[in-house]
Chains A and B, each alone.
Chain A
Amino acid sequence: MNRAPKSRLPLYAFVIFAFATCAVPAEAHLNTTGMGPLYDGLMHFLMSPEDFLPVLALALLAGLRGAAYGRRALFTLPTAWLLGGLAGISAAARSGNALVSAAWFLLLGGLLAADAKLSLPVTTALAALLGLYHGYLNGTGMGQFETASVALLGLVFAVFVLVALAAAFVVRLHAHWARIAVRVAGSWIAASGLLMLGWAFRTR
């Protein structure tokens, strides 16, 4: 006569109960714990559209012009961002301006939408200026924290990865409609810049 298989349910229940009694606090909310300064810096960039979108626009613009432009932006922008950030960390006060941020959206989004045929030195200068300005703003915001320089490194790493991915993605695009789609994205960034300009005037 076959014996009914012994149920393992009590064993599972005991294991679950044991784990439940030993549970540590979840710390699921990074508002209080953070992710460590490096990842905090990285996430800050990814969660800040005012930083993210101009970088994306510049990377797409460089990608549309070709691999040489993409490579130049890839190294110029993060380097300038790092230098600007270090200057900002040691600066006394934050001096950001909503109008300037809106102007970056308008300029880079407009150039991308128009598929502007910029020369390599002009693209390099744009990347350097963008990096210095936004890096400086980030640095002044981080200056109050002891781990600011590590957070800045995380942020610069995120800039590097975004430029690499976005520029490389566009360099590979050959279909006419795909390049048009990239330019449409530029028009959206420029349009957001126009609205930002309106908000900036409204709050003055």
Chain B
Amino acid sequence: MMLVLLCAPSAFAHPQKGEAVGFLTGFRHPISGLDHVLAMVAVGLWGAQLGAPAIWLLPVAFPMVMAMGGMLGLMGVPLPGIEYGIAASAILLGAAVMFEVRPPLALAAILVGFFAIFHGHAHGTELPPGQSALLYSIGFVIATGCLHALGIGIGTVHRWAWGQKLLRVAGALVTVGGVFFLWKAIA
């Protein structure tokens, strides 16, 4: 019974305008692709390495600019090389964490914002039919924020010497993941 309970999907007994589905679909969207997850967690890790005010500025900048990219996608504005952009975001953000790069705050925000457009555009073109667009958007933004928070949470180990090394290893793993996705996009 325990196993069955653990595997139980949501009941959706009363679908009204696809609202519950809309929120959950939106929430699942950013966490369903590893390429997105890597980049978003890396933003949190980098913010934690850089400390205040980057620790909150970068995770605020990313969803805002990502939503702008999503808006462009929804409006049908084309953006070339989306998959390359997403893979490059994991490579560069992972490298920034790996080498603990400390650029000026504005430059870090611009870099994060630039890549956020690719992530947003990729998500913005998809909404399963019959679902609440607003709740989909809210779920989508909250999931993105949670991934940043996860990165920041992991990044708090930066206060210890072993934690700093661990974060560099995590950055290297994100970069390797990015290279893999870039190779997949090219192949």
Contacts and interface: CB of A to CB of B under 8 A. Distances in A.
Interface in A112-148: 113
Interface stretch (A35-43, A84-92, A152-160, A193-201): A193-201
Contacts of A194: 64, 67-68, 70-71
Contacts of B72: 198
Contacts of A188: 63, 138, 141-142, 145
B134 interface: yes
A167 to B, nearest CB: 22
Contact of A187 (B64, B70, B74): B64
Given A31-B14, A202-B76, A197 B71 contact: yes
B180 to A, nearest CB: 29
**A interface: dominant SS:** helix
A202 B64 contact: no
Contacts of B142: 188
Of the four ranges (under 10, 10 to 19, 20 to 34, 35 or more), the interface on chain A belongs to 20 to 34
B14 A202 contact: no
A202 B56 contact: no
A183 B68 CA distance: 18
Contacts, number: 75
Given A50-B134, A180-B56, A196-B133, A191 B63 contact: yes
B64 A191 contact: yes
Interface string B120-138: 0000100100000111011
B157 to A, nearest CB: 17
Given A191-B63, A191-B64, A202-B74, 16 more contacts: A29-B14, A31-B16, A49-B138, A50-B134, A53-B138, A180-B56, A184-B56, A187-B64, A190-B64, A190-B67, A194-B64, A195-B67, A196-B133, A196-B134, A197-B71, A198-B74
The 10 closest A-B pairs by CB, nearest first: A198-B74, A198-B71, A195-B137, A191-B67, A194-B67, A199-B133, A187-B60, A191-B63, A191-B141, A202-B74
27 contacts: A31-B14, A49-B135, A50-B134, A53-B138, A183-B60, A184-B59, A187-B60, A188-B63, A190-B64, A190-B67, A191-B63, A191-B67, A191-B137, A192-B134, A192-B137, A192-B141, A193-B67, A194-B64, A194-B70, A195-B67, A195-B70, A195-B74, A195-B133, A196-B133, A198-B70, A198-B71, A199-B133
